[in-house]
Structure 1
Amino acid sequence: MRWLPRSLLGRLTIVMGLGVLATQLLANLIWTEQIRQQSQREATAAAHHLGGSAVAAIRFFKSLPANYRPLLIEQLREMGGTRFFVSVNSAPVTVAPIEQTALSRVVLDTVRGKLKQQLPRLADYRVAFAWPDGLPVSDDGATLQDLPDDWVQHTLIVKPRVAPVLVIQAELEPAGWIYLATLMPDPYFLEKADPITVDRLALQLATLVSVLLLSLLVVRWLTRPLAVLASAAKAFGQGARTEPVPEVGSREFVQTARAFNAMQARIERYMDDRERLFAAISHDLRTPITRLKLRAELLEDEATRADFHEDLDELELMVKGALQSVKDTDIHENRTAVRLDLLLERMARDAKLAGGEVAFAGGAVTVIAKPLAIKRALSNLIDNALKYGGRAEVLLTESDDLVELTIRDHGPGVPEEMLDRLFDPYVRLEHGRQSNSGGMGLGLGIARNIIHAHGGGLLLGNHPEGGLVARVTLNTLSS
């Protein structure tokens, strides 16, 4: 599976391409086997017919006196129209056979079997296929090209396309051989021995390429709306306000796009309602809290008045913290290219001017992000490292499309079971309360929400040599 492309377009293209290729290969194998079997049946039937004709001719010439044979052969040549070119020799003629194939071997074996079966007393015989160019036809060295055209034009094809000649030689008596030359009923039958020719392969390749190109266009047309939907979902998931997805295309995609647009509209209404709700809560709670503080001043008991003021201050702090958490997370701004290394260097200089110790290392790294939001998240992490760990070490690295930022402090660290709870609102450890009594425990939660909205991640862990390490991962292309 790891060799498959990650995109739906790539996977569908490979599957369809392999499917078309496998179908064509299977169809070609079946078709080739059918052609071969049909050619073998036809060649076997033709060989039986030729073998029978050769047996009849050999029997006829064997029954003739030896001195009559040349006269009959001369008459046959003048008359024309015979199946065989015939000559008589005192010895067998040496014929250069063609390279054997499975089909030619079937024909030769069939003819030999016919001669052996019907002429069992035949002393000797020879059967072979030969090309007509330079083919010897008599024991005096004469070749097919030396003969007059009238002698062979009705029996053998020598131009314009040459066809293999079936040569049958049989011994009629000592020093008496008959020479028979003929063509198969289908002279070019050997061309069917291998149906997979260059022309057919070129045609199959052209068909395969055409089908693959059409498949690629169809798959791309089908998957393009999914890519649009995926981009819209990713952008919306990272907090961007996007236009509704066009509800065009196939019925299934239209239904999906319509459901996504409805979900997006509901979530946007919920976010707007939440923002208005917190603004209303902030406005409505300030007045009763102020009234309670004024009434607390009228209490005569100092201890009771102090308890009331402490509770009211804590309530006001919690309300401000909740509102700050919502406002810091929902920073409405456009995404743009941000040089993280320059931003971190500037934050390190500002921290040093304020008396903090920040060490930064890293090369040039650019991400697509909301500048103020990402600055708020990283500022919260660095401030936490300075407040609770004394000093901070910031390291920025990039590999492929992934950016990793580590921020380490030199504090006492955090118990392993408390690492995940640090992101919860108002959760603070004893060391944190001692180091920063004015904090509310919202910084890490705000930072994680902002980083998640950019498609990244934030993990906390203890360093082996002491201190807490915050690891931030971002994507350079689509943060």
Structure 2
Amino acid sequence: MRLQQRLLSWIPQSLLGRLSLVMLAGVMLVQFAGNAIWAAQMRREARTEVRTAAEHLGHSAASSLRYFLSLPVNYRSLVIQQFREMGGTRFFVNLTDGPVQMTPFAEEELSTLAVQQVHKVIQQEMPAIRQLQVSFAWPQDVRFSQDGSGISDVPDKWVEHILVTRPKPAPIMVIQAELESGSWLYLATLMPNPYFLNDGDPFSGDRVLLQLLTLLAVFVLSLLVVRWITRPLAALSSAADAFGQGGSIPALPDTGSKEFLNTARAFALMRERIQRYIEDRERLFVSISHDLRTPIMRLKLRAELLDDDVTRSEFHDDLDELDMMVKGALQCVKDSDIHENPTAIRLDVLIGRMVRDVKLSGHAIAFEPSGIEVIAKPLALKRAISNLLNNALHYGCQVSISVIQTKQYVEIAIRDHGPGVPEQALATLFDPYVRLEHGRQSNQSGMGLGLGIARDIVQAHQGELILQNAPGGGFLACIRLPVQVLPDNVLHDFS
């Protein structure tokens, strides 16, 4: 108990102190855990890359060995000389009387893995090779022949396109194989990633220093931000508590940090959206309840007359109507509640696919690509545009889609060239199950929910859906979405 009390006494009592302490401990823990995971992943990736690169290198070396084995002995030196005059191939090639001794190379996991893999591949492809030696050497320690000649003793054009000697030397792999008794082929080359040994060290000094500096910077900045935003949180907490209890919302202060002001505005917008959502759902289900009364009453009156075929048919018709209305209500809720993360959407791709489908069905539609992107929920926005497009196709003989962008919003305009809508009916178009007379004739399967769903989706994006008769005839539906900037950590480009 005393130890526990002593530990608790060291915990700061203020919100600023506790948040700072928790943030420091959390950042350090995440930093260390992330570094450990990152280091393990880097080691796995480095081993995989080195194994794959060494395997390809082994196949290339085996091909070179087969080539020189197929040549007459007297021609081998001539071919090597031609290679050197042309600037070399992937390998620096030489013929020796025996294996050339190399300066021991400091063994590391990746270098050992590469040597073993190359040795294994060559042995598998050329089991007849009598002796095979594979090793690494630094450029200054490389010897090309038994007389001790190295890189500095041969013309630059022999090695400058094969081996890296400056400005930063890279380890060179040396492959020596006995072709016949007293005849050895010498191959020197680089790994595809010459500096693979450096890449395999996740805890190099510069990386550790960078992590420590990052930790310090994150902690200092977090401390400042926490101190900045904790002061006005009491008002926001009271407002959230009052809203949760259904009481009156106290006014939030209009001063404070930018983050607090954005949070306060977001809270106000959230409150409005929730309230509007509740009102829309109440209106929807009140309408459903009202419209279900008539068919239910008819079912009750005809339940006693089921022996009659005509009555039975009418009974089934009423059931079908009731089933359609219930399904429509459930579909409305389902289509309006699409849970997604906002992402960048290329409207040309999204709308272009819809346009192609419409053309395949035989309808006339026009669309000009604009190259405009918008930040939105992909499936939800597609549903809203699809609903408006389907309405336009049902009620108009020809449809055109255009996209424009201003400083404040991106507008998607869908126009049909049908009869339009009476001015007195425009205000009722968003009401559930409201369908105009010409709509009933051209679309018998509809339920009058598409426009309401589209409006809910657009409003959820803080946008606006405008319905109006188009100048010159027809009907125009405009989706206006605010111009936003996508955060760096959000997946970009939905196609």
Specify the structure having the higher radius of gyration (Cα): 1
TM-score, structure 2 normalization: 0.44
TM-score, structure 1 normalization: 0.46
